[in-house]
Amino acid sequence: MADRWTPQSWQAYPAQQQPDWPDTAALDVVLKKVSEQPSLVFAGESRALQSALGHVAEGRAFLLQAGDCAESFDEFSAVNIREKLRVILQMAVVLTYSMGVPVVKVGRMAGQFAKPRSSGTEKIGDVELPSFRGHIVNDPAFTADARVPNPDRLMQAYEQSASTLNLLRAFTKGGFADLNRVSAWTQEYAKSSPEGQRYVALSNEIERALAFMSACGVDTENYSALHEVDVYTSHEALILGYEEALTRLDSLTGQWYDASAHMLWIGERTRQLDGAHIEFLRGVANPVGCKVGATTSPEWVVELCEKMNPSRIPGRLTLISRMGADKIEDGLRPLLRAVKQAGHPVVWACDPMHGNTITAPNGRKTRQFEDIVGEIAGFVRAHKAEGTWPGGIHVELTGDNVTECTGGTDDLTNDDLDYRYQTVCDPRLNGRQGVDLAFRVAELIRNHG
């Protein structure tokens, strides 16, 4: 790989999973327009995230990366964003309080639109059409027209990302995220469940702790960390033309930043060492992630670390394992050992979703809550055995009361899946299952010792 990197240098490398845009002139017009738009995030914010992730790499903090599998143009609303944020904040409070370490919060939000597919086409009966690749590319309806990649969608994705970020900034800095409101985040539905009651008990303890602090004379009113939170954004950097159009030179440091999100990651299907996605992300200064599936070798992981983080900056690289509950412990251990031996300061995060997708008898794609917990348990055991820090989790969830994953507090069954199955792509945890998972994860990490 040539050393010289530019925002365009990826174009000389093979790029997997790119849409087959029918009209490249129209695509170029839209990309030019995107490149003229203001940055969605600022380089300084990405640097702050990288520094927070540096603490995770050193075992002093925990990463919670969570949000939609695929954001939707159709289900875009303030309520939807608020509810997703609420679950992330609730999970973070549970993890922080139970584990006693800061939780770095990163949403799969404000840009998580593009989807890699295992097959380029989808066949129903005798009809074969291009696959749905996320709302940034085409529409999921099974008609030839709907599936044509439409570059105008790139602009719509940019605009929806901007509005989502605007609301996220308002919610996280404008009072909604105030720690005094931890109990207000609990909706009626959560109070009625065992996990909901556990959450209420925890929020009561936090309220007492805050009252104690102010009774001792601590100025809690003016201490901003109690009233505001940092929630960063991230998505899979899949459509490289779009990412390139939002890549800007930071005048302060002279480095290039992909200003479409604070953190970008490379998916399981696009992580070829000599491919365009790795070429693109190696040159931007944002913190970056890479999925690590069951087929990866220790040599591959070390080479990836060398390529993505030659200066060995803690927090620059997050490795997100996704192997499946039954493979993780044995599959991960040699990788942990190799990266440790090579002296690379990575964040290890566990994606317990993508290796545990199954098809229910009614044809719905689903995931079982106990498999999700099981993969995290195996992840924690592997770290314990290798003396490394199980740095975080990467999950797909929504604040809505969907029925897409089975099990959890409400013990959802395969029969419940038809009830509220709303995802545009993979099955997500609902709000209750998210909080439930946070309690289970906190217990697993606490026992990590």
CB contact at 8 A, 198 and 205: no
Interface with ligand PEP in residues 358-397 (CB under 6 A) = none
Nearer to ligand PEP, 131 or 193 (CB): 131
- CA pair distance 398, 66, nearest whole angstrom: 9
268 binds, among ligand PEP, Co ion, none (CB under 5 to 8 A by kind): ligand PEP
Q: Determine if 69 is a binding residue for Co ion (CB under 5 A).
A: yes
Question: From the CB of 28, what's the least distance to ligand PEP, in Å?
Answer: 27
Question: From the CB of 119, what's the least distance to Co ion, in Å?
Answer: 16
Q: Which stretch binds ligand PEP (CB under 6 A): 119-127, 202-210, 263-271, 306-314?
A: 263-271
Question: From the CB of 138, what's the least distance to Co ion, in Å?
Answer: 17
What lies within 8 Å, CB to CB, of 302 at 6+ separation is 338, 339, 342, 344
Encoded amino acid at 198, one letter: R
Nearer to ligand PEP, 70 or 91 (CB): 70
Exactly one of 84, 235, 322, 333 binds ligand PEP (CB under 6 A); which one?
A: 322
Exactly one of 7, 19, 67, 267 binds ligand PEP (CB under 6 A); which one?
A: 267
Exactly one of 31, 53, 69, 308 binds ligand PEP (CB under 6 A); which one?
A: 69
Q: What is the number of H-type helices and E-type strands within the chain? A: 12, 14
What lies within 8 Å, CB to CB, of 203 at 6+ separation is 93, 182, 183, 185, 186
Interface with Co ion in residues 411-430 (CB under 5 A) = 426
Instruction: Point out which residues pair with 129 in neighbouring strands.
Output: 122
Q: Please name the residue that has the structure tokens 């996990």.
A: 195
Nearer to ligand PEP, 54 or 140 (CB): 140
Question: From the CB of 68, what's the least distance to ligand PEP, in Å?
Answer: 9
55 binds, among ligand PEP, Co ion, none (CB under 5 to 8 A by kind): none
CB contact at 8 A, 402 and 440: no
Instruction: Give the β-pairing of 358-359 and 365-366.
Output: antiparallel
The end-to-end CA distance of the chain, in Å, is 42
Residue 339: in which H helix or E strand, if any? helix 328-342
Q: Please name the residue that has the structure tokens 């009209």.
A: 23
Write each residue from 355 to 374 as x if it is in contact with Co ion (CB under 5 A), else as -, in one continuous string.
--------------------
Exactly one of 47, 105, 133, 291 binds ligand PEP (CB under 6 A); which one?
A: 291
Exactly one of 243, 244, 268, 410 binds ligand PEP (CB under 6 A); which one?
A: 268
Interface with ligand PEP in residues 30-49 (CB under 6 A) = none
Q: Which stretch binds ligand PEP (CB under 6 A): 130-138, 190-198, 247-255, 264-272?
A: 264-272
Least Cα distance to 371 among 388, 389, 342, 350 occurs for: 350
Task: Tell me the C-alpha to C-alpha distance, in Å, between residue 321 and each of 70, 279, 343, 433.
Answer: 19, 21, 19, 21
Q: Determine if 135 is a binding residue for ligand PEP (CB under 6 A).
A: no
Least Cα distance to 81 among 46, 108, 43 occurs for: 108
Query: How would you label 136-166 residue by residue, b for 16+ Cβ within 10 Å and e otherwise?
Result: bbbbbeeeeeebbbbbebbbbbbebbbebbe
Interface with ligand PEP in residues 98-117 (CB under 6 A) = 116
Question: From the CB of 116, what's the least distance to ligand PEP, in Å?
Answer: 5
291 binds, among Co ion, ligand PEP, none (CB under 5 to 8 A by kind): ligand PEP
Question: From the CB of 10, what's the least distance to ligand PEP, in Å?
Answer: 18
| The two three-digit tokens of residue 428, written as one number | 């997500």
Nearer to Co ion, 71 or 426 (CB): 426
Q: How big is the chain by its Cα radius of gyration, in Å?
A: 21
- CA pair distance 203, 183, nearest whole angstrom: 5
Q: Which stretch binds ligand PEP (CB under 6 A): 81-89, 242-250, 265-273, 307-315?
A: 265-273
Nearer to ligand PEP, 267 or 283 (CB): 267
Q: Please name the residue that has the structure tokens 């570059």.
A: 151
Q: Determine if 324 is a binding residue for ligand PEP (CB under 6 A).
A: no
275 binds, among Co ion, ligand PEP, none (CB under 5 to 8 A by kind): none
Least Cα distance to 378 among 439, 442, 331 occurs for: 331
Nearer to ligand PEP, 267 or 378 (CB): 267
Nearer to ligand PEP, 314 or 352 (CB): 352
Q: Please name the residue that has the structure tokens 């309690």.
A: 439
267 binds, among Co ion, ligand PEP, none (CB under 5 to 8 A by kind): ligand PEP
Residue 358: in which H helix or E strand, if any? strand 358-359
- CA pair distance 445, 133, nearest whole angstrom: 36
Site of interaction with Co ion (CB under 5 A): 69, 426
Site of interaction with ligand PEP (CB under 6 A): 69, 116, 236, 267-269, 291, 322, 354
